[in-house]
Amino acid sequence: MKWCACAVVFLAAISSGLAEAQIDFATVIVVGVSENRVVVAANAGSGSQNGHDRCKVTLLDGKVLYGAAGVVADTAPAIPGQWTIDATSAANASLADAPKRMQACAAAGSCSFDPKSLPENSAQGWADSVMSRLAAASNIGPDDWKLGAGVTGIFAGVGPAGEMEAVVDQILCEKPGAQAAEASAKPQSNCQPHLDFSRKVVPPKGHTVWIPLGISDIANEYLRQASDRAKEEVKEWPKLQEWQIAYRLVDLTLAYSQKKVSVSGPIEVVELRSNGTVTWIQNPLHCPEK
């Protein structure tokens, strides 16, 4: 097995001041994408404001692995339904609506994304839904929202030609400008979300592309071999399977991250192969496996 430390996507976890939201400011997710498989490892210990451990990785309809960090949910009973946020529910709904988007692209004759790519198609619908929800939820009150609130999601699975691929989308909120607010006849929400970053990752033949999300300081240190301890560690990687490397990167983050006080285990690990086989190697919270 070969691995590629140069093709690393760096994404920082984003937190917000939204009251009662499930904001995962202590999420560690490491994704490895190779020709014939995707592996995902994540810490199940939660830094969310509700303080409970929860599943960080979701298998969408047995076809696509999904994970997210940031403002992942706000479903408190006191919040009206039109203001709630649930990024995982949005991911499930987006996958279900993928055929509709494919038909719409065919009818239009063009599309800004590949409608035949299930990860890319699902990521597009998810981003649209989450941006709409963030804008609506920010109407709760201006003091509850801060510049930089947002969410980062990853969709990984089998591409249209049978290749493994992943799509990473990062959504950020901007405060509405005073001039824009004055010029608009409609009430301005406290968050104007935009797609700050989007990248589709297809691994080079014979290599694994590693994508750390959330708290990624330690994962990037080791992937880039930026220290003596990292250089010693990666000497052992050719002996390991991809899932073991993903697990190791999460475990090292829990041990050494500057934010290790807020991160905790246990660690969940799942593998999706190009033939559709899904294997939960570690599932400490008994997350849905199909």
Residue 184 in any domain: the answer is yes
Each residue of 189-213: pLDDT tens digit? 677 888 998 999 999 999 999 999 9
Looking up residue 110, the CATH number of its domain turns out to be 3.60.20.10
* Residue 183 scores a pLDDT above 70: no
Domain that holds residue 161: 22-282
Residue 12 in any domain: the answer is no
Token pair 């033949």: residue: 205
Token pair, residue 145, equals 């929202």
Residue 3 in any domain: the answer is no
Each residue of 40-77: pLDDT tens digit? 999 987 655 554 567 889 999 999 999 998 878 776 66
Residue 4 in any domain: the answer is no
Domain count of the fold of the chain: 1
Residue 11 in any domain: the answer is no
Q: What pLDDT score does 64 carry?
A: 96
Residue 288 in any domain: the answer is no
CA distance 35 to 280: 19
Cα-Cα-Cα-Cα dihedral of 242, 244, 250, 255, to 10°? -140
Each residue of 98-114: pLDDT tens digit? 999 999 999 998 898 99
Cβ-contact 213, 69 below 8 angstroms:
yes
Residue 63 in any domain: the answer is yes
Residue 5 in any domain: the answer is no
Q: What pLDDT score does 259 carry?
A: 75
